[in-house]
Amino acid sequence: MRRLRRSATALGSEHRIIILGVFAAMFAWAMWAGLDLFFYPDKSYQELLFQDLPLREIISRAAIAASFLLAAVIVSRTVRKLASAETRAKRLDTCIRSVRAVNQLITRETDRDTLCRRVCEVLVERLGYARVEIMLDGAARGLAESTEPSVIRRETGPDEPVAVPVECAGETLGELRVTLGELPTWDDDERDLLVELAEDIAFGVRNIGMSENLAQQREELQTILDSISAYISYADSDCRYLSVNKALADLVGIRQSAWIGKSRRELFPDASAESLSMHAEVIASGMPRRNITEKLELPSGTRWVQTDRIPYRDGDGNTIGVIELSIDVTEQKDAEAALVRKEAELRQAQKMEAIGHLAGGIAHDFNNLLTAISGYAELAERRAVETDPIVEDLAAITQASNKAAALTHQLLAFSRRQPLKLAVQDPNAIVHELCGMLQRLIGEDIELQTSLDPDVGKIEADASQIEQVLLNLAVNARDAMPEGGSLTISTASAAETEQPSEGWSDSKGGPSVRFSITDTGVGMDERTLSHMFEPFYTTKSPGSGPGSGTGLGLSVVHGIVKQHGGWIRTETIPGRGTTFRVYLPLCPVKAADSLASDGESEINEEDLRGNGARVLLIEDEEMVRTFAAHALRDSGYEIVDVGTAEEALEILDAEQFDVVFSDIVLPGKSGVQLAEELTTLRPDVRMLLSSGYPNRESHGLQPREWGFALLDKPYSVKGLLEALHRVRN
């Protein structure tokens, strides 16, 4: 109907031009008659207009009139075509601009519904359609309608929409529906244009769908990567990061978005050249590098990772990037390091144990020799006249023996084989008693200070051994301050968090008392710190001072503290000083109240005489046995001496003795075994045991645990007589 109206309009215009041509021909005929009137004035106008003319004249005039009519027709058609061409050109330009606008929308929009809606609006606004609708998946995704009255004529009823399928690669996605309305022009070319637009829309919709799917896949992939505890990154050939997972970002402390586009050098200025070169090597060779252990220095601390670098290739197989996958192996490295330390500690412990056994064996034999040497010297001194010059020589022998005995005690303390005389002790009292001697020992150029906590509590310890610990540490501090300085000794209750460190695993832990010995000396380097407790290790040169170069001071401290169930911490700064913190277990109040001191009262010289009391002496070392027998006989004892426990048992079956005095370490049965057997066979027997090496592990039990008195070697004549007196009484 719309096309018929357009044809009628065009036909009416052409008739008007033809009629004008007929009038033009009639006007030409009249003008011809007017010219005749001018040339023939004797004739009237009517005569000239309607006179009979020759046939030739009539044909001539008719031809002229026909020419006018033909010219009018030609002009009419030319004008109409020119107007149609101009209208079509304008319409074509509008269509091209619309297509361009639609294509811009297709390249710009990322949402399918928004694209469809905007396309419908462009087609309505620019091409003048009455209504445009895009159907996808059976639902309207875009709709636009014109509001111009000239476009939609309601009285004629709505037009049927032109439906164009929205297809891409043979797949129909939906339909483009266009209601034309009152358009100036419409033809098959514009329909073909709609078909192309529908194809473009289909392409755009499909790309958006693919982009959405790709974005969803990337999001899902990133979610998967972020859920993995391993550290994953992807960097291009220039080592610039394109993606990292959450675990890696959290580890480094840099948000994920801040990695993108940054190089490793920009993010990690201190990155090793080796890691950068491995990245370049993978790019160049196209071969992966696996199981590379790397150290990362991060604000949160040092981390160790094991990294695989895998080449990332494009569709042509070219390496365009590197994927790095790292696993945190810090705990494994720490465990390996701890294992190495434990192995070193085990080797050290084995070495210490071996040296301890050696020291204990030497101490046992040496104490026997010292017992004989110092004993005979004391006997000779007792028998000599005071004015005799030999008395001074004997005193020198006794003094040298005492020094040798002190060295033996140090060896036993180092090897943790020195028997402890435990009693409840006041830490502050130990420091007070030691300070007077310490000031003379360290010299006037070193200021001695104390800081003692009055509520520090009590410890169960051997006071002499703890004094030895403080003394050795003070001497070490003195040697570390050759030009003077300050030495501070303090006591305090240790905090609950202060527990044994590595290397002190057999310490008791728990509530403890802390002794701190702080100097302002030269401090220690790492090497010295790692070897300081080793026996015979010293940084002092021979002859640099009293006791220099022995290397036993700190090893003795180590042994005594371990024997008390404590531990030591050391803090040192080269050039600024050292602090030793000695921790000893706190004695519970109830235990402190129940424990008694080992203090013993003085005994009169006359009470030490034997007065004929019988003593069975069992000693395998002949020199010691001879000395002890002489000393006891001189003091009024009746002595029977043997070298083994078996011989002693034979004699005990036949004779009675007031005291059995036995060495612990004997060939065959030990002195402890002899004491156990006698306790069963002769409950009334009184025993005194002696040893230069009272080792619980070797002999099963501590003699004190059975109620037997113990006399340590080397012992003096007076010490022997006092011990026998206490056993008898």
Max mean pLDDT among 12-16, 132-136, 375-379 falls in 132-136
The pLDDT tens digits for 126-154 are 888 888 898 888 888 888 888 876 555 44
The pLDDT tens digits for 407-441 are 776 666 555 555 667 788 999 999 988 887 788 77
Q: Please count the helices (runs of H) and the strands (runs of E) in the chain.
A: 20, 21
The pLDDT tens digits for 103-112 are 888 888 888 8
Residue 644: what pLDDT? 92
342-402, what's its fold?
A: Helix Hairpins (1.10.287)
Residue 476: what pLDDT? 86
Structure confidence at residue 594 as a pLDDT band (50, 70, 90): very low
Max mean pLDDT among 151-160, 635-644, 665-674 falls in 635-644
Long-range contacts, stretch 705-708, CB < 8 angstroms, 24+ apart: 706/672, 706/675, 706/676, 706/679, 708/675
CATH number of 228-328: 3.30.450.20
Residue 93: what pLDDT? 75
Residue 579: what pLDDT? 93
With a CB cutoff of 8 Å and minimum separation 6, the contacts of 34 are 45, 48
Residue corresponding to tokens 């033996």: 408
**Going edge to edge, which strands form the sheet with 171-179?**
139-145, 131-136, 171-179, 162-168
Cβ atoms 365, 372 nearer than 8 A: no
The pLDDT tens digits for 275-296 are 778 888 888 888 988 888 888 7
Domain locations along the chain: 2-88, 109-218, 228-328, 342-402, 423-594, 606-728
Dmax of the chain from CA atoms?
210
Spatial separation of the C-alpha atoms in residues 666 and 368, rounded to whole Å: 13
DSSP H or E run through 514: strand 512-519
Instruction: State pTM to two decimals.
Output: 0.45
Same fold for the domain at 109-218 and the one at 228-328?
A: yes
Q: Is the pLDDT of residue 309 over 50?
A: yes
Which CATH superfamily does the domain covering 109-218 fall into? Answer: GAF domain (3.30.450.40)
Q: Which amino acid is at 82?
A: L
Helix (H, G, I), strand (E, B) or coil at 75: helix
Mean pLDDT of 360-381: 81
- SS3 string, 327-362, reads EECHHHHHHHHHHHHHHHHHHHHHHHHHHHHHHHHH
Residue 5, Cβ neighbours under 10 Å: how many? 11
Distances (CA, A) of 353 to 346, 369, 406, 534, 551: 10, 24, 21, 12, 17
Q: Is the pLDDT of residue 8 over 50?
A: no
Q: Is the pLDDT of residue 50 over 80?
A: no
With a CB cutoff of 8 Å and minimum separation 6, the contacts of 544 are 479
More confident residue, 447 or 403: 447
Nearest to 186 by CA among 167, 159, 166, 165: 159
The pLDDT tens digits for 177-187 are 888 877 656 67
Residues β-bridged to residue 460 = 424
More confident residue, 627 or 155: 627
Structure confidence at residue 542 as a pLDDT band (50, 70, 90): very low
Spatial separation of the C-alpha atoms in residues 392 and 142, rounded to whole Å: 125
Residue 203 token pair: 């392409």
Which CATH superfamily does the domain covering 606-728 fall into? Answer: Response regulator (3.40.50.2300)
Percentage of the chain exceeding pLDDT 90: 10
- Could you give the angle at which helices 463-479 and 427-442 cross, rounded to 10 degrees? 40
Residue 547: what pLDDT? 44
Helix (H, G, I), strand (E, B) or coil at 719: helix
Task: Give the CATH class of 423-594.
Answer: alpha beta
Residue 443: what pLDDT? 84
Spatial separation of the C-alpha atoms in residues 178 and 180, rounded to whole Å: 6
pLDDT, averaged across the chain? 78
List, as one string, the DSSP characters of 242-280.
Answer: EEE-HHHHHHHT--GGGTTT-BHHHH-TT--HHHHHHHH
More confident residue, 165 or 80: 165
Mean pLDDT of 355-362: 72
Structure confidence at residue 593 as a pLDDT band (50, 70, 90): very low
- Roughly how many angstroms between the first and final C-alpha of the chain, as a whole number? 147
Nearest to 595 by CA among 726, 429, 422: 422
Spatial separation of the C-alpha atoms in residues 578 and 558, rounded to whole Å: 16
Residue 540: what pLDDT? 60
Residue 516: what pLDDT? 93
The pLDDT tens digits for 319-342 are 889 988 888 888 888 888 888 877
Structure confidence at residue 47 as a pLDDT band (50, 70, 90): low
Residue 564 sits at φ, ψ, to 5 deg, of -85, 5
More confident residue, 270 or 140: 140
Residue 597: what pLDDT? 40
In which region does residue 542 sit, left (phi positive, over 0), alpha (psi from -120 to 50) or beta (all else)? beta
